[in-house]
């Protein structure tokens, strides 16, 4: 894609993921030249970027998150004004099976990027994808100063990355920020995430598949937002005069039971007739309630979520049904 020589340049580490694709689309619309990384740019399908119509408008480079030299080359080659680190093992459930992979791809990788920025000494603005999982169980809505009480290897890794960034910002004056994002969903979520699993399975059941939906703990409470809106907050954080961390969320939490009921109701179905509770899907440790206070983002960024759980469910169901219909239409 042609951009003016003065166009800002962004590098998205993890551009092939849900947020990477939405952020790439947003930044392109703002006139940025966008580059990104994948662990294997040649073999990784660019399905999310293609689904948003931007696969041929970005350059994607191979970079291992734990290869210092490779990351240096990508940064040196692209000379970004802004780096967004959205990569790493992102599943809480999987982190119990792959704790070290999770720690390396989240915390160690973030250290590599921070070190590179310190050593390069360029005026790069850096965004790190932190997570509400760091807060653990919340009795009251968590704002930026709420204590971290991680309850999974994923949350431990995200907390380490958060504190490393805060330390580099203070010690070396980097323009580096963490967005502490609560759950955000979209049709680009893979099916191993429970929200997409619920929506996809419910749509297949509504189409007559006859299958059943297996879930673990449906009493957990989460704050679910809409991913395309959340990447706008990421960008806004890096446009401030001074680097700060932000909680990004809707401020409205619901149980997974309510999410499931809403998804089936949207399809005219009673969820209790189609769902099984499976103890083997329970996590070794889980967060019961995740509550957010995103008021700082509204005050300083002018950002407020437009869609909360009920609207997110509707939007995901609509997209899933469209995809199912398109697949059926293409079958001879």
Contacts with ligand NDP, residue ranges (CB under 6 A): 14, 16-20, 38-39, 44, 65, 86-90, 101, 105, 129, 131, 181, 183-184
Active site residue 131: yes
Residue 139 CB, shortest distance to ligand NDP, in Å, is: 21
Burial (CB < 10 A; 0-12, 13-18, 19+), residue 259, is buried
Residue 28 CB, shortest distance to ligand NDP, in Å, is: 17
Tell me the C-alpha distance between 34 and 84, whole Å.
Answer: 11
Tell me the C-alpha distance between 114 and 105, whole Å.
Answer: 14
The two tokens of residue 196 are 């997409």
Report which DSSP code applies to 169.
Answer: H
Active site residue 200: no
Which helix (H) or strand (E) segment is 273 a member of? Answer: none
Residue 33 CB, shortest distance to ligand NDP, in Å, is: 20
Q: Which of 90, 131, 253, 290 is catalytic?
A: 131
Compute the CA torsion angle 292, 294, 295, 301 (nearest 10 deg): 170
Q: Which of 104, 133, 229, 266 is catalytic?
A: 133
DSSP letters for 299-311: III----S--HHH
Q: Name which of 65 and 177 has its Cβ closer to ligand NDP.
A: 65
Closest residue to ligand NDP in the complex (CB): 17
Q: Name which of 19 and 245 has its Cβ closer to ligand NDP.
A: 19
Three-class SS state of 295: helix
Q: Name which of 105 and 138 has its Cβ closer to ligand NDP.
A: 105
Ramachandran angles phi, psi of 183, nearest 5°: -55, 135
Q: Name which of 181 and 213 has its Cβ closer to ligand NDP.
A: 181
Task: Report CA-CA distances (Å) from 153 to 104, 129, 268.
Answer: 11, 16, 38
Active site residue 84: no
Residue 140 CB, shortest distance to ligand NDP, in Å, is: 20
Residue 157 CB, shortest distance to ligand NDP, in Å, is: 9
Q: Name which of 229 and 274 has its Cβ closer to ligand NDP.
A: 229
The catalytic site residues sit at 131, 133, 154
């Amino acid at each position: 894609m042609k951009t003016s020589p003065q166009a800002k340049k962004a590098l998205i580490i993890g551009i092939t993921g849900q947020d990477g694709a939405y952020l790439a689309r947003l930044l392109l619309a703002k006139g940025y030249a966008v580059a990104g990384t994948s662990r294997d740019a040649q073999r990784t399908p660019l399905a999310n970027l293609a689904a948003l119509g931007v696969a041929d408008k970005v350059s994607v480079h191979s970079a291992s998150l734990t290869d210092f030299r490779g990351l240096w080359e990508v940064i040196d080659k692209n000379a970004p004004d802004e780096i967004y680190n959205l990569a790493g093992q992102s599943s809480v459930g999987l982190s119990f099976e792959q704790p070290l992979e999770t720690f390396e791809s989240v915390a160690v990788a973030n250290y590599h990027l921070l070190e590179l920025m310190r050593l390069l000494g360029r005026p790069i603005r850096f965004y790190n994808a932190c997570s509400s999982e760091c807060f653990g169980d919340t009795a009251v809505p968590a704002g930026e100063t709420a204590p971290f009480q991680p309850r999974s290897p994923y949350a431990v890794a995200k907390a380490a990355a958060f504190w490393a960034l805060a330390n580099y910002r203070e010690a070396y004056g980097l323009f580096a920020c963490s967005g502490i994002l609560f759950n955000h969903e979209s049709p680009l979520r893979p099916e191993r995430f429970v929200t997409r699993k619920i929506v996809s399975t419910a749509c297949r059941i509504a189409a007559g598949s006859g299958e059943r939906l297996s879930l673990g703990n449906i009493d957990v409470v989460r704050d679910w937002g809409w991913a395309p809106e959340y990447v706008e907050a990421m960008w806004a954080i890096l446009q401030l005069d001074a680097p700060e961390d932000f909680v990004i969320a809707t401020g409205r939490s619901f149980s997974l039971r309510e999410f499931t009921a809403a998804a089936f109701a949207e399809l005219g179905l009673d969820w209790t007739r189609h769902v099984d509770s499976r103890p083997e899907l329970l996590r070794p440790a889980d967060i019961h309630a995740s509550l957010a206070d995103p008021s700082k983002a509204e005050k300083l960024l002018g950002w407020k979520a437009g869609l909360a759980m009920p609207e997110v469910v509707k939007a995901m169901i609509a997209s899933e049904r469209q995809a199912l219909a398109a697949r059926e239409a293409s079958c001879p």
